[in-house]
Amino acid sequence: MNAYLERTIENVKSKYANEPEFVQTVEEVLSSLEPVIEKHPEYENADLLGRMVEPERMFTFRVAWMADDGSWHTNTGYRCQFNGAIGPYKGGLRFQKNVYPGIIKFLGFEQIFKNSLTGLPIGGGKGGSDFDPAGKSDAEIMRFCQSYMQALYRYIGPDVDVPAGDMGVGAREIGYLFGEYRRLKGTFENGVLTGKGFSYGGSRIRPEATGYGAVYYLENVLKHEGESIKDKTIACAGFGNVTWGICKKAFQLGAKVVTLSGPDGYVYDPEGVATEEKVNYLLEMRDSGRNRVQDYADKFPGTTFYPGEKPWGVKVDICMPSAMQNDVHMEHAKKIAEAGVKYYIEVANMPTTNDALKYLMDCDNMIVAPSKAVNAGGVATSALEMSQNSERLVWSAEEVDKQLKQIMDTIYNMSVEAAEEYGLGYNLVAGANIAGFQRVADAMMAQGVF
């Protein structure tokens, strides 16, 4: 391997041994970049890679909040402003018990390249808290969000850093966060957050965008193989916002999502999540806060619940891991290959361990697409929301959807072309890393060393 590349990876490995998710994404991205680094020896002198793996700024803050019983609790808030070379920092907030710097930094690092791939002017950032939303009342969520924003508001803004949702942060939380920002600043700067409700500056299609975008990307992959999405079976994981969007679009296009998963196991629905009632039920499941996928099997006859198991190994045409990081390990990858799956389309951020991803990419007849390209429709539509906010305009659903589709087609084409340019053949994983990297690298080189 290129010595500079290898040294950068080794430095991150030894420095951040206690942040394995961050090390994992750095290894995955950087190891794709060998031909680019070989072609650009000037990067080493400017320590471009060393700077790229170091966040421009990252901070923690105290978030104290009162529970309904009057007791006080304290959590850690995070924001990582990873790379601002091509635009204001942009990326979601994740509220989940397991959040720690390694999770925020892996998500932030992925976000840099994903945002770059959209072709829009957005830098990479991520934030969140180790707050556990499970079982919290609406009033508790509101007080937590208000306290969180009291600590964060000075450091964000429509031209500075624009947070959005991620796991545990949906339209409700964004509403409370925005209300507190507006109250503190005394200005209506709705471009400071995306994923807002439609009544105060949210974009049409933003809730659906990540799932829709993933399906638009998938259609490009299928087209390359001379196939169409109609009648295809898809294994999804999770049942949250992203999986809901995939189910909705797949249903519209005549494909069937036959599995969903949760912390309790997975469900198999041979008829697919392919009625309006079923698609809408996913929203109910999410809003119930029960975090149980078994509820789906209990509600719809003819479906089976497999407690404690994952859907990897079910015979389908397409796997779309859309739940969370490191959901698919080597043992699952082998089962996916054995089941004769032809398309492995990552959707969640880093859903595959690095060894499992390499295994799947090396399988004959398996096409692998990386999440940072496939799920970029979400943040791309956030950038469209920012555009509408700054222009004080509202675009129709058709207009946003049309732009989303165009962006996904462009991301796919740019990835294909970048891999080909460096002699890597049809490699969507390396292509996305290279295309995403190149734009940020050019901007950083142009702006001087800091």
Angle at 316 between CA 258 and CA 360, to 5 degrees: 125
Question: CB nearest ligand 2IT: which residue?
Answer: 92
Query: What whole-number distance in Å separates Cα of residue 189 and Cα of residue 163?
Result: 13
Which residue, 2 or 382, is less far from ligand 2IT as judged by CB? 382
Which H helix or E strand runs over 11? helix 3-15
Query: Which residues are 260's β-sheet partners?
Result: 267
Supply the residues annotated as catalytic: 126
> Residue 301 burial by CB count (10 A; 0-12/13-18/19+): exposed, middle or buried?
exposed
Annotate each residue in 363-392 with x if it binds ligand 2IT (CB under 6 A) or - if it does not, as one string: ---------------xx--x----------
Q: How far is the CB of 202 from ligand 2IT (least distance, A)?
A: 11
Q: How far is the CB of 419 from ligand 2IT (least distance, A)?
A: 22
Q: C-alpha distances in angstroms, 122 versus 84, 127, 134, 175, 338? A: 8, 15, 31, 22, 40
Query: Which residues are 123's β-sheet partners?
Result: 89
Annotate each residue in 262-281 with x if it binds ligand 2IT (CB under 6 A) or - if it does not, as one string: --------------------
Q: How far is the CB of 210 from ligand 2IT (least distance, A)?
A: 7
Q: How far is the CB of 184 from ligand 2IT (least distance, A)?
A: 21
**Contact between 360 and ligand 2IT per CB under 6 A:** no
Give, as ranges, the residues between 41 and 100 that touch ligand 2IT (CB under 6 A).
90-92
Give, as ranges, the residues between 339 and 358 that touch ligand 2IT (CB under 6 A).
349
Asked whether the beta carbons of 246 and 216 are under 8 A apart, the reply is: no
Q: How far is the CB of 86 from ligand 2IT (least distance, A)?
A: 14
Which residue, 233 or 322, is less far from ligand 2IT as judged by CB? 322
Closest CA to 415 of 431, 430, 426, 429: 431
Asked whether the beta carbons of 356 and 117 are under 8 A apart, the reply is: no
Q: What is the DSSP letter of 154?
A: G
**Contact between 120 and ligand 2IT per CB under 6 A:** no
Which residue, 169 or 316, is less far from ligand 2IT as judged by CB? 169
Residues ≥6 apart with Cβ < 8 Å to 447: 85
Strand order across the 57-66 sheet: 57-66, 72-83, 123-129, 89-95, 161-165
Closest CA to 362 of 425, 405, 437: 425
Structure tokens at 96: 């989940």
Which residue, 91 or 431, is less far from ligand 2IT as judged by CB? 91
Which residue, 5 or 218, is less far from ligand 2IT as judged by CB? 218
Q: Does the CA dihedral 120-214-171-72 come out positive or negative? A: negative
**Contact between 166 and ligand 2IT per CB under 6 A:** yes
Report the residue from 58, 104, 164, 316 that binds ligand 2IT according to the rule CB under 6 A: 164
Which residue, 12 or 174, is less far from ligand 2IT as judged by CB? 174
Residues ≥6 apart with Cβ < 8 Å to 335: 312, 313
Residue numbers at the binding site for ligand 2IT (CB under 6 A) = 90-92, 164, 166, 194, 349, 378-379, 382
